[in-house]
Amino acid sequence: MNKQPFVSKAQLDEITEHYPTPFHLYDEAGIRRNMEAVRDAFAWNPGFKEYFAVKATPNPFLINILRDYGCGCDCSSATELQLCDAMGISGHDIMFSSNETPAADYEAAAKLGAIINLDDISHIDFLEQTIGGIPETISCRYNPGGLFEISNGIMDNPGDAKYGMTTEQLFEAFRTLKAKGANHFGIHAFLCSNTVTNDYYPELAAVLFRLAVQLQQETGAHIEFINLSGGVGIPYEPGQEPNDIQAIGEGVRRVYEEILVPAGMGDVAIFTEMGRFMMGPYGCLVTTAIHHKHIYKEYIGVDACAANLMRPALYGSYHHITVAGKEDAPCDHMYDVVGGLCENNDKFAIDRALPEIEDGDVLVIHDTGAHGHSMGYNYNGKLRSAELLLREDGSVKLIRRAETPADYFATLYGCDELLQNAPYDTEKLKRK
């Protein structure tokens, strides 16, 4: 079974005339359709807000598409906060969810007026000492421990995760924060990653809603919002049934009315912090086949590598591959599709059935819109690729240029001398 790319062979031919591969390409029309679906799925909750996980795809051009629909940003570092600040995003449009947080990061979050989500009970005193007090609005991250199960089995093992507070710590934290002047509280939890089931959010919501009722009754803290965080996944493999965000939203509404409304908490806002679901399917890595190798296996070498997309190397993750122009050709050749890093795990596909690939063929690696370019690195001196946006009208916009050797050397002392003595045209290396 095949997946169809959002970009055609004719479009790719035109794009690659102007922008050399590899590059990440994003689909504006798809992003907008998906955001509208998320908005509609939770329209029953007047306070609903999606805080896009900036770490997934930290590009302001893409984030601004989501902002058209009222999205905020979920940040986890001072640099991500600076990106938001530069975009004019501040206050409660930012949720700051971090762990092992440096003082400077808390200072930056407080300066922007972001909602701070505390990962550990010890951070209460640390935050107070760092910024000189406790904000009126504060959130705490919850870890229920043990195994997290839904109707179709075990989903994950929160007890083995480094994030969040225990149940006892959460109650103590709310009492302490209330005593220190906090008036508006939130609960946050992230228990599973990349779930492809409509049951995850409703099951998580039920856990957090029951907890919220108990917390408000026993501590007197006013719970203003409940943040379901991320974890709603995408079908990387063809044939997987995708999540139905409308069914997910309806499932959360059902438990909201069963648990929160009878407890007099029908004013609680629902927040989400999705990254993968918001962007993942609407990005692809475009790369060119440049070598064949025939030894014990058949290898196709491409001009991208794990430095452009590390998920397959890091997790063994599946990403579907389309050979542009050969979408309907029989997949009667078995290949490993590999990059040029000096690491044997630099493989986009292993024993993958694909059409016959010739040097110069353009390959589309699907579902790289989240945790793709953002997880790039410079091992072996590899340079991170450009990012392009396929606009709704079919035009293409460069939204991040490709790195140059000048970027790679820029943080070294003596960079100017290094470039002056380089045996290549240094003018081409200078930043524009």
- Kindly state the percentage of the chain with pLDDT values over 70: 92
User: Rounded to an integer, what distance in angstroms lies between the CA atom of residue 18 and that of residue 343?
Assistant: 31
Average pLDDT over residues 269-290: 98
Residue 10 domain flag = no
Check whether residue 195 and residue 235 sit in a common domain: yes
From 111-115, 141-145, 226-230, the region with the lowest mean pLDDT: 141-145
Check whether residue 262 and residue 289 sit in a common domain: no
Residue 429 domain flag = no
Residue 7 domain flag = no
More confidently predicted of 174 and 239 = 174
Check whether residue 193 and residue 221 sit in a common domain: yes
Check whether residue 301 and residue 382 sit in a common domain: yes
> What pTM value is reported for the model?
0.93
Nearest residue to 372 via CA among 305, 300, 290: 305
Check whether residue 392 and residue 244 sit in a common domain: no
The token pair at 348 is 């986009």
Listed residues 280, 315, 337: the one ending a domain: 280
Average pLDDT over residues 165-174: 96
Straight-line distance from the first to the last Cα atom of the chain, in angstroms, rounded to the nearest whole number: 44
Check whether residue 356 and residue 274 sit in a common domain: no
Average pLDDT over residues 242-263: 98
Nearest residue to 150 via CA among 188, 187, 214, 205: 205
> Which one is catalytic: 73, 192, 305, 342?
342
Q: Residue 37 belongs to a domain with what CATH number?
A: 3.20.20.10
- Give 175-231 pLDDT, tens digit per residue: 999 999 999 999 999 888 888 999 999 999 999 999 999 999 999 999 999 999 999
Is the pLDDT at 414 greater than 60? The verdict is yes
Listed residues 235, 254, 280: the one ending a domain: 280
Q: Residue 394 belongs to a domain with what CATH number?
A: 2.40.37.10
More confidently predicted of 264 and 155 = 264
pLDDT value at position 327?
95
Question: In angstroms, how far is CA 320 from the centroid of its own chain?
Answer: 19
Check whether residue 328 and residue 254 sit in a common domain: no
Residue 11 domain flag = no
Domain that holds residue 210: 27-280
284 is catalytic: no
Check whether residue 89 and residue 179 sit in a common domain: yes
Is the pLDDT at 152 greater than 60? The verdict is no
Average pLDDT over residues 111-118: 98
User: Rounded to an integer, what distance in angstroms lies between the CA atom of residue 278 and that of residue 255?
Assistant: 24
Listed residues 241, 258, 280: the one ending a domain: 280
**8 A C-beta contact, residue 66 and residue 93:** no
Average pLDDT over residues 278-304: 98
Check whether residue 84 and residue 134 sit in a common domain: yes
Check whether residue 222 and residue 349 sit in a common domain: no
Distances (CA, A) of 402 to 11, 13, 109, 314: 20, 19, 30, 23
User: Rounded to an integer, what distance in angstroms lies between the CA atom of residue 218 and that of residue 308?
Assistant: 50
Check whether residue 303 and residue 252 sit in a common domain: no
User: Rounded to an integer, what distance in angstroms lies between the CA atom of residue 98 and that of residue 399?
Assistant: 27
Check whether residue 249 and residue 293 sit in a common domain: no
Average pLDDT over residues 375-398: 97
Query: Average pLDDT, whole number, for the chain?
Result: 93
Residue 166 domain flag = yes
Residue 85 domain flag = yes
- Give 294-325 pLDDT, tens digit per residue: 999 999 999 999 999 999 999 999 999 999 99
pLDDT value at position 192?
82
Residue 16 domain flag = no
Task: Indicate the pLDDT class of residue 416, thresholds 50, 70 and 90.
Answer: low
Residue 337 domain flag = yes
Count of the separate structural domains present in the chain: 2
Task: Indicate the pLDDT class of residue 149, thresholds 50, 70 and 90.
Answer: low
pLDDT value at position 402?
97
**8 A C-beta contact, residue 426 and residue 410:** no
- Helix and strand numbers (H, E) in the chain are 13, 19
Pairing relationship of beta strands 396-400 and 386-390 according to DSSP bridges: antiparallel
